[in-house]
Structure 1
Amino acid sequence: MLNFILIANPETRRVQLFQQALERCGVPPARSISYADLLACRCDLAQFDSPDTIFRFDAPERSFEVDRGFIAAGAELEPDGRHQRISASAAVQLPADLGRIWYQRQWYLGWRQCLKTWTANLQGRILNHPDDIIIMFDKVRCQQILATAGIPVPPMLFDDRNSTITSYDRLCTLMDDRKIDRVFIKLAHGSSASGVVAYERRNGYERAITTVERVAEGGELRFYNSRLIRQYRATDAIADIVNFLASESIQVETWLPKARLAGREFDVRVVVIGGKARQAVIRVGNSPMTNLHLGNDRREIADLPPGLSPVVWEEMLATCERAAACFPNTFYCGIDLLIAPNLREHYILELNAFGDLLQGITWQGEDTYTTQVRMLLTEYLK
């Protein structure tokens, strides 16, 4: 019998849903290992290792203790980087400040290093493999891999020699030179729409629509991830936000129009499991950011516009499967699919290594977790 080891923050809904899927399939509960215990060296994954073991890493979310641990783990890495940095000892003393965006690049470096260290000599199967998780947590690298493979992605905006954009002034210069008036700016290592800016500039007018809250107090600038979408029109405020994000590394891409449902733009989150597109949900936006936790509406796939032919929809799902295939050691991932207003062209916006949390959305009567467990059992019993 397969043994499952689930590495996650135990307070998250994901743990409960995965354990329920195991029970539904007649499999004993997974042994749950917390990121906090791994970071504190209170356990070692090697002690649970065997050929019949499946290790599942889930999103390291909703724990500031864990965030501090990853920031501390990244303190001595990439010493020549432009990002904010803090010592390991200072990182573990950081006060909780709900929603604050800080040390994002250092967090990523620590997360990357920990994943590699924890899994270096494991013999069991890892879902998803850290090598793929690490790339999907770097939006710039991920989109470059997709583009190289011929996957349609929004045109990316780079500085000279394909380097990332490092400042607001440089962004404006490049947009003007290339006659681009709308872009999306994303933290390279952000998730859940953290650090996302829909920015437009034309004829002396500029506007940033964003999840970022800029707070200026006592001579200090702080930036927070917020569920309230804000608009900034003042150049100094926009420049502060872009400069801050750029210092942590950003992905900049052309802001493409989306198809509409009932007058509002939408995109689709598609979950690919075992190489096949399975569960999917339409995300209808109240702003350019369609993430469901921001208060946007969800629709079933049956609600896709009638002008979208079944043949074209199958082509779009095939594109999602080709995108997932760029990461051969990934068993499941969430893919954000943009459908153009003509209902034919489509683009992959990004891949999410932990993008399988689609509560209430089923495929052939199964949620994403049940589909994963059933498919793994089928493979094992062959």
Structure 2
Amino acid sequence: MSLSPSRALRDIGPRFAVVGNPENRRTTMFADAVRAAGHAAPRVLAWRDVLRGRYAFTPGELVRIDSPGENAEVDRLLRGTDDPARVEGTALWHCRFTAAVRDVTRAAHRACAVTSADPEDVAVMFDKRRCHARLAAAGVPVPPALTGPIGGWDELKDQLRVTRIARAFVKPAHGSSASGVVALEMAGPGRVKATTSVETTPDGRLYNSLRVRHYASEPEIAGLVDALAPDGLHVERWLPKASQGGRAADLRVVVVAGRATHAVVRTSRHPMTNLHLGGSRGDLEAARAAIRAAGGRFADVLATAERAAACFPGTLCVGVDILPAVGWRRFTVGEVNAFGDLLPRLTGLPGSGAEGLDTYAAQVAAAPAAARRAEREEHHHDTTA
């Protein structure tokens, strides 16, 4: 967790605050978990106020930094648009949001409060290019990716040809929830297919839709990529996924205080398995059995998620997307999500220490000890530096 220098944490535990949106489901579920643990209801500091500088913290508070969510007012402050469904503007969003997280963290430290996320961790997790590079440098298995900036469709085609990548995921560098993601298949000269939730209007604007659609016209796909490119693109090889019940499958593993506590299988008939795009929860026990049948261990999958989370040591909780290869024999990390804990009704894995707890209750339980442990490590670093 991100800590103020030399902060004594003797009195931390019962006082929580949330920087979030009062109407956001994540914020309300965390507040419910705090109350269920016997603590006073957390103070909720709305992002719309925080972004205008209207906030303050008190000594000893544990401050959860939550997602800004889909709020028109907040989106206008972060991206300059009133329409959260618009895809463009993610680079500006990243710049303003990460600056706000840094400001919040500094203010919390001045007040001798503790925040749930390190601002540099958040900045990297919300830049898919930097996140991929950090994971790869740490030896975490990740899909092969293009390097260097991509200015548009022509550059993308050239790089895919040179690297002999025929199937790729084209992702906005600062996107989330699969917004703007394009699953691209290059079958030959002039033969291309794109699967995406992006809807392109006649005037060229891009909107995130809840309906996954297909484009097979190169001029249409070129226009889509050219419109996404100014905000930055991360492009990685589309690795064929394992399947469950005839549907593509992957896993979201939640890691709290360094330990994998929750896991869910996500399945879809589309390349994107996000639940809000028509994906559904799969059968975790069936996935375990498939891994055993392939000669593997589910514990190794969890260990991979923990290795990925360890690349972001200042953040209490992350959601790690694990991509199982066909046959459930090999696993790579697709993404690490700063706000990847929205998994209602999912309780902790056996042996995780979070049995019977949802992802938010697990964070409430782990936060004080994690903060004290981080403080001890910081103190040790200060005394040995």
Q: One fold, TM greater than 0.5? A: yes
Q: Where do residues 46-195 of structure 1 align in structure 2 (5 Å cutoff)? A: 48-50=57-59, 52-71=60-79, 91=80, 94=81, 96-97=82-83, 99-121=85-107, 122=109, 123-158=112-147, 163-195=148-180
- Fraction of identical pairs, as percent: 39
1:249 to 2:232 alignment: yes
**2:3 matches 1:6:** no
3-state SS of 2:262 partner = strand
Partner secondary structure for residue 105 of structure 1: helix
1:338 to 323, 332, 337: 323
Count of residue pairs the alignment pairs up: 349
- Quote the Cα distance in structure 2 between the aligned partners of 1:137 and 1:277: 21
Q: Does structure 1 residue 351 correspond to structure 2 residue 332?
A: no
Question: For 2:369 and 2:288, how far apart are their aligned partners in 1?
Answer: 35
Kindly provide the amino acid, as one letter, of the partner of residue 104 in structure 1.
Answer: T
Q: Distance in 2 between matches of 1:166 and 1:66?
A: 29
Q: 2:369, 2:50 → 1: CA distance? A: 31
Q: CA deviation at 1:177?
A: 1.9
Question: RMSD in angstroms over aligned alpha carbons?
Answer: 1.7
The equivalent of 1:303 in structure 2 is 286
Aligned pairs for 1:224-373 (under 5 A) are 224-304=207-287, 306-309=289-292, 311-363=296-348, 364-373=355-364
The whole-number CA distance in structure 2 between the counterparts of 1:132 and 1:359 is: 25
Q: Check the 8 A contact 1:259/1:342 in 2, yes or no.
A: yes
CA distance in 1, matches of 2:15, 2:275: 33
Which of structure 1's runs of 4+ aligned residues deviate more than 6 A? none
Maintained 8 Å contact 1:337/1:348:
yes
For residues 1-41 of structure 1, give each alpha carbon's deviation from its aligned partner in whole angstroms, at most 9, with x where no partner exists. Answer: 43111000111111211111111111111000001111223
Structure 2: distance between partners of 1:38 and 1:97: 20
User: Match of 1:202, SS?
Assistant: strand
TM-aligned CA deviation for residue 311 of structure 1? 4.9
Q: CA 1:31 to 1:230, structure 2 compared with 1: closer, same or farther past 3 Å?
A: same
Paired position in structure 2 for 1:78: none
1:210 aligns with 2:196: yes
SS of 2:27's equivalent?
helix
Q: Is the 1:312–1:344 Cα contact (8 Å) retained in structure 2?
A: no
SS in 2 for 1:211: strand
How far, CA to CA, are the matches of 1:97 and 1:60 in structure 2? 14
Structure number with higher relative contact order (C-alpha < 8 Å, ≥ 6 residues apart): 2
TM-score by length of 1: 0.88
Q: Which residue type is aligned with residue 259 of structure 1?
A: A
Question: Deviation digits for residues 362-382 of structure 1, max 9, x if unmatched?
Answer: 111110011111122455799
Q: Secondary structure at the match of 1:342?
A: coil
Contact (CA 8 Å) 1:185, 1:253: kept in 2 or not? yes
Distance 2:145 2:372 in 1: 44
